[in-house]
Amino acid sequence: MKLGLPEGADSTHRIIKLAILAVGGQGGGVLTNWITELAQRADWHVQSTSVAGVAQRTGATIYYVEMLPKDPDRPEAQPVFALSPAPGDVDIVIAAELAEAGRAILRGFVTPERTALIASSHRTLAVSEKIVPGDGRADGQTVLQKAGEASRRFIHFDMEAIAQEAGTVISASLLGALAGSGELPFERTAFEETIRAGGRGAQASLAAFARAFQRASGAQEEAGPAERTAGARALAAGPARLLQEWKALTLRVAALPSPVQEMAEAGLRKVVDFLDHRYAAEYLDKLEEIAAADRQDKAFAFTLEAAKYLANAMVYDDIIRVADLKTRSARAERVRRDVHLGGDQTLLTTEYFHPRMQEVVGLLPARLGAGIEARPKLMTRLNRFVDRGRRIRTDGIIGFSMLWVIGGLRRFRRSLLRHRVETEHRERWLDLALRKMAEDYDLGVEVLKCRRLIKGYSDTHARGHSKFDRVLGCLPMLAGRSDAADWIRRLREAALADADGVALDGAVRTVQSFAQDGKQSMG
């Protein structure tokens, strides 16, 4: 891409133009200073600029450097440098984050005949990507692919991880990648001296620099973290009796249609982990029944989705499950790893709970719970004692034991109110899906997938339920339409697009409007 003018006339081709696109707080200023100093040490002309200000409070920001070797004939002459990068006129672009590489391309700073693009392939997610109830992450693959096409050279790897492993910030690994790329005509030692001259934290910076240098210069790739072997997932440990029962269950999974097996095994594991083998057997009973009614010509798509969402539906999120998960040894190990707990340190862990009467009532025997729930005044009165934040210290014996005991209630689950409610809801949903599947296979699959909408706790959970109901509530309006499945998919995606259901409202209105039209034209 050439914006404007051909290279021939340009008198600035000897000037090296380098732009750094960073997110505020990534140390772009440090990197800019290093590069400026590097050029100064080589006795080059150099100029750098930045925009300090609120843009650096986690916003996107650009640093810019121009440098030129001194003309031995006129070493005193001062070149005139530009203060900011211009589209189509940048030699090296350093992006401290993958989406920023994409932004550099969009702004025209990266051009195929000119620009070496050095980017860290990690993502620092923008707020807009994180607040979506579904999956709002931008498509990194597109950026990677376009960056390859748009640049003369594209060097990318996870420089953030390298920095973190070395206990420093990304500016060090970015400088390493720049040095390793060979795009600047300075020796590696010159780069390292610049870092050393900075003093503070030089050791860690040099370590990150070295690893990034190696990656960027294409020297032998270091082995990545060991891939998890495929078989390891299924490994189970436990008492012999349970293992034997587990083996029998896995044999039943092996008898399912092959496209379903992997998902079914994952589902099976989740279900048995939630309650017991009898519960897992119920899962398989249902799945076998569904598979028998499913169609081979559709590659058992319905059963596949059922394997996934039935397991998720059977494993509802109740207080017992939370307590159980939080008191496992694997979890304790994960926390210790997360905070890098050393042998000479101790650890306090505090859990943030806020149960309400609705959740507590679910823990009661079904009849008692339902009885209380039927009396709103009593609920409100009891809620006064329940509804408050509870901070539970799980590093202490009392706090831990409390959760441990609650986690142990799982064996009584079948008799509890929540279980009854969840089971009834699940069966209604499955019946609906099976019925729709018989009329319109794809629609049945889509109905299954709507289970994705139910998640969260408390109000969030209630909101998920209501979205689920609203989406499936459109089914009568879609009756008989050949694109019904597609509409359910669209409605579901709309429901996942925002929390307040604005997109869903719009989608529902659309469905209503054509349902109306359809009626009129028929009438």
Partner 1 sequence: MAERSFAKEVQKLRLGAGEEFAGEGILAITKALLQCGVGYVGGYQGAPISHLMDVLSDAQEILGELGVHFEASASEATATAMLAASVHYPIRGAATFKSTVGTNVASDALANLASGGVTGGALIIVGEDYGEGSSIMQERSHAFAMKSQVWLLDPRPNLPSIVSAVEHGFELSEASNTPVMLQVRIRCCHVHGAFTAKDNRRPPMTVADALENPRRDTQRIVLPPASFLHEKEKISKRLPAAIDYIKRHQLNETFGGSGRVGIIMQGGMYNGVIRALQRLGLADVYGETDVPLHVLNVTYPLVEDDLLEFCATKDAVLVVEEGQPDYIEQALGSMLYKADATVRLVGKGMLPMAGEYTGDVMLSGIGSFLRQHAGEMLAPEVRAPNVPAPPIFDDLVKAVPMRPPGFCIGCPERPIFAATKLVEQDLGKHHIASDIGCHLFSIMPPFELGATTMGYGLGPASASAFNSPDAKRRSISFVGDGGFWHNGLTSSIGNAVFNKNDGVIVVVDNYYSAATGGQDILSSRASNPTKATKHPITDAVKGMGVKWVRHIDRTYDVGKMRDTLKEALTTQEKGPKVIVASSECMLNRQRREKPLLKKALTDGKRVVKTKFGVDEDVCTGDHACMRLSGCPSLTIKHLDDPLRDDPVAAIDENCVGCGNCGEVADAAVLCPSFYQADVVNNPTRWERFRFNLSQRVIAWLQARRERRRLVFAENAV
Total number of residues binding partner 1 (CB under 8 A)?
Answer: 149
Binding to partner 1 in span 289-308, by CB under 8 A: 308
User: Which residue type is seen at 188?
Assistant: R
Residue 402 binds partner 1, judged by CB under 8 A: no
Torsion of CA 232, 238, 239, 242, to 10 degrees: -70
Q: Is residue 67 a contact partner of residue 87, using CB atoms and an 8 Å limit?
A: no
Whichever of 89 and 442 has its CB closer to partner 1, that residue is 89
Looking at the Cβ atoms of 138 and 421, the one nearer to partner 1 is 138
Other Cβ atoms closer than 10 A to 302 = 25
Segment contacting partner 1 (CB under 8 A): 12-20, 212-220, 282-290, 471-479? 12-20
Q: Examine residue 267 and tell whether it contacts partner 1 (CB under 8 A).
A: yes
266 lies in the binding site for partner 1 (CB under 8 A):
yes
| Rounded least distance, CB 131 to partner 1, Å | 5
383 binds partner 1 (CB under 8 A): no
Instruction: Please identify which residue in 72, 75, 128, 221 interacts with partner 1, judged by CB under 8 A.
Output: 128
Minimum CB separation of residue 408 from partner 1 in Å reads 7
Segment near partner 1 (CB under 8 A); pick from 143-151, 294-302, 431-439, 506-514: 143-151
- Is 224 a binder of partner 1 (CB under 8 A)? no
Residue 151 lies near partner 1 (rule: CB under 8 A): no
**Could you say which DSSP state residue 70 is in?**
P
- DSSP state at residue 55: G
Coil, helix or strand for 446? helix
* 372 interacts with partner 1 by CB under 8 A: no
Residues 192-221 that bind partner 1 (CB under 8 A): none
**Among candidates 169, 244, 249, which has minimal Cα distance to 209?**
169
Contacts with 500 (C-beta within 8 Å, 6 or more apart), sequence order: none
Q: At its nearest, how many Å lie between partner 1 and the CB of residue 173?
A: 15
Q: How far is the CB of 14 from partner 1 (least distance, A)?
A: 7
Among residues 410 and 436, whose Cβ is nearest to partner 1? 410
Q: For residues 83 and 48, what is the distance between their CA atoms, to the nearest angstrom? A: 8
234 belongs to the binding site for partner 1 (CB under 8 A):
yes
SS3 16: strand
Q: How far is CA 79 from CA 36, 66, 69, 70, in A?
A: 15, 10, 10, 9
Binding flags for partner 1, 432-471, as an x/- string (CB under 8 A)? --------------------x--xxxxxx---x-------
> Which span sits near partner 1 by CB under 8 A: 240-248, 282-290, 378-386, 423-431?
240-248
Backbone angles phi and psi of 29, in degrees to 5: -65, -40
Q: How many CA atoms lie within 13 A of 210 on its CB side?
A: 10
Cα 424 from Cα 431, distance rounded (Å): 11
Does position 53 bind partner 1 by CB under 8 A?
yes
Rg (C-alpha) for the chain, rounded Å, is: 30
For residue 173, give Cα distances in angstroms to 38, 52, 123, 214, 394.
16, 22, 15, 10, 38
Kindly tell me which of 181 and 358 has the beta carbon lying closer to partner 1. Answer: 358
> What is d(CA 416, CA 394) in angstroms, rounded to the nearest whole number?
26
User: Of residues 214, 217, 261, 312, which one binds partner 1 by CB under 8 A?
Assistant: 312
Binding residues among 406-435 for partner 1 as defined by CB under 8 A: 407-408
Strand order through the sheet with 16-23: 44-49, 60-69, 16-23, 92-95, 116-120, 153-157
Among the listed ranges 171-179, 321-329, 364-372, 424-432, the one in contact with partner 1 (CB under 8 A) is 321-329
Scanning 133-141, 208-216, 418-426, 473-481 for contacts with partner 1 by CB under 8 A, the matching segment is 133-141
Q: Is 326 a binder of partner 1 (CB under 8 A)?
A: yes
